Structure 1
Amino acid sequence: MLLVRGFRVLLLLLLLLLLMLLMLPLFLLFLLPLLPMPALLVLLLLLLLVLRLLLVLRLRLVLLLLSLLLLLVLLLMTLPRVDLMSNLLVRHLDIRKQSAGRPWRLASIGLLGELIPTHIAP
C-alpha cells in the first residue's frame, strides 16, 4: 500500500516537473520582457507558487527540496535568454521611435533575434 502511494506521488511529481519544463521557458522568453515589474520578482512569485502547490500535495520534504532545486537550475538556465529577449525588445522599440515618419518599418523580431526591416510603398 505504501509502495503504491509512493509511486503515485513520484508520478505526480514527475508530471508536475514536466509541465514546468514545458511552460516556464515559454513564459520567460515571451511574457517576462513585457511585464513592468522586475524579472526577479516574477521568478520569486513563480517559486512561491510552486512551493505552495507542492505543500498542498503533501509531498515529503526531500522531494520538495529536490523539485525546488531543479526549478532553480531551470530558471538559472533561462535567465540569459530573458536578458536577450528584453534587449531585443528595447532595440525594437528604440528603432520604431527613431524611424517614425519614414518609409521603413520594423516587421518583426525573428526567432533568432534578427531585426527584419520592410519597405512600405508611399
Structure 2
Amino acid sequence: MSLAVARARRSATIAPLRRWMRETAGIRQSRLLDALIVPVMNAAFAPAHLDPRVELRLLERLSPSTVEVLAPVRLGIPPRSEEVLTPAQARARHGYAKPAEAHLGLRARQSARVFGDGAAPSDQGLIDSQEILGPLS
C-alpha cells in the first residue's frame, strides 16, 4: 500500500474519534484534516457501496475481522432472532459482570503487586482472557 493511501486511511480512521478518545490515546489530528478527509474517503468508497460483494471484498482487505459481522447485513440475510438486548440484559443472560465490577480480585492483586511490592504487573488477566478473546499471538 502506498504511503499516501496509508496516511489517508489513518486520517480517516481517526476522524470520527471523539476528542477525549484522542487525548487518552495521545493521538493528534487537526479538525481541518478531519473535515477534509471524510468527503475524500466517501467519494473513494462510493463505487464499492454500489455492489455489496465488491464492498465485502474490499472490506476483507481493509478489516478482515469485520466481514463476518457486516456480510449478513449487506447481503440482506435476516437475523436468526429479532430480539435486541441492552448490554445489561446481555450481561445478565450470559453471566458477565459489569466492566467496572469485573475482576476486582485480580485488579486488587495487581495493584498490591505493582504499588505495594514494586513488581511488574503480571500477565494473568491477559492469560485468563484468551479463552474469550483468543490467543495473545
- Please give the TM-score of this superposition, normalised by the length of structure 2: 0.25
Between Structure 1 and Structure 2, the one with more strand by share is 1
Higher relative contact order (CA 8 A, sep 6+): 1
- Please give the TM-score of this superposition, normalised by the length of structure 1: 0.26
